Amino acid sequence: MFIVSPSVLASDFSQLGAEIKRVEKAGASYVHLDIMDGHFVPNISFGAPVVASARKKTSIIFDVHLMITNPKRYVDDFLRAGADIITFHYESDDEPSDVIQYIKSKEARVGMAIKPATPAEAVYPFLEALDMVLVMTVEPGFGGQKIIPETIEKVRAIRTYANERGIKIDVQVDGGINNDNLKLATEAGANVIVAGSAVFNAPRAKDVIDKMKKTAELYPFGSGLEERFEKGKVRRI
Ligand code: DX5
Ligand code: ZN
């Protein structure tokens, strides 16, 4: 299933609940929550208390992207705040398999992200254990950047590797994605699309999301995991 996950980093934080509702009505299935600690990335965004406040306003799936050092230590905080999917970075200093097992032990969905300089091969040993791989298409830290087109080849490599082994997985792209370049990502095998400025800064979010869905129809990479994300079936601690 193709999913649009608007990143609230580009939203009006003073109206966060309403902003999430707005993109939900416009056809988003997830919202992407970028957590930055000023250490793993050179920027600070927001933490679990903000996620918990937003959770009170919506039941949409919260796709939490941890750009932080020691992600394992904060998993419980974000799950308690209402995260449904937790994605951590392969490059963070925790052992990836430990973080994966920990998140899974809490019955949450787990994703692993790689920065532009990290090769696709880095994720291969973990694919079977993961629900999602996030291929960063910009350097993490800031919204509103331009896509680094070379990163798309990693999407293709990961999707091909997974398909050849019958591994069902979501492949997410994040950073600088808009309707001018989306086709590159979906054609390569991405099926979960993060879009911050392209959705939140548009005059009508629905137009952007509708167009994204149309593009995706040309390259339907079903993950097979979608039924686990059906509303109401997502388990939280
Ligand atoms: C970058 C974040 C992205 C970003 C996406 O570090 O992980 O989620 O906010 O925003 P746009 O789509 O504006 O690049
Ligand atoms: Zn992100």
Ligand 1 pocket test target in 5, 8, 9 with most atoms within 8 Å of CB: 9
**pLDDT at 222 exceeding the cut of 80:** no
Residue appearing with tokens 């629905």: 206
Q: What is the mean pLDDT of the chain?
A: 93
Whole-angstrom Cα Rg for the chain: 16
Comparing C-alpha atoms, which of 186, 178, 177 is closest to residue 215? 186
Q: Report, as an integer, the average pLDDT of 57-77.
A: 98
Residues marked as catalytic: 34, 174
**pLDDT at 104 exceeding the cut of 90:** yes
**Pairing status of strand 30-36 against strand 3-6:** unpaired
Q: Report, as an integer, the average pLDDT of 39-54.
A: 98
**Which tens digits make up the pLDDT trace of 166-197?**
999 999 999 999 999 999 999 999 999 999 99
pTM here is 0.94
Query: Ligand 2 centroid to 113 CA: how many Å?
Result: 9
Q: Tokens standing for 19?
A: 């902003």
Query: Ligand 2 centroid to 219 CA: how many Å?
Result: 23
Query: Ligand 2 centroid to 144 CA: how many Å?
Result: 11
Q: Report, as an integer, the average pLDDT of 69-89.
A: 98
DSSP codes, 119-141 = -GGGGGGGGGG-SEEEEESS-TT
Task: With beta carbons less than 8 A apart as the criterion, state whether 123 and 96 touch.
Answer: no
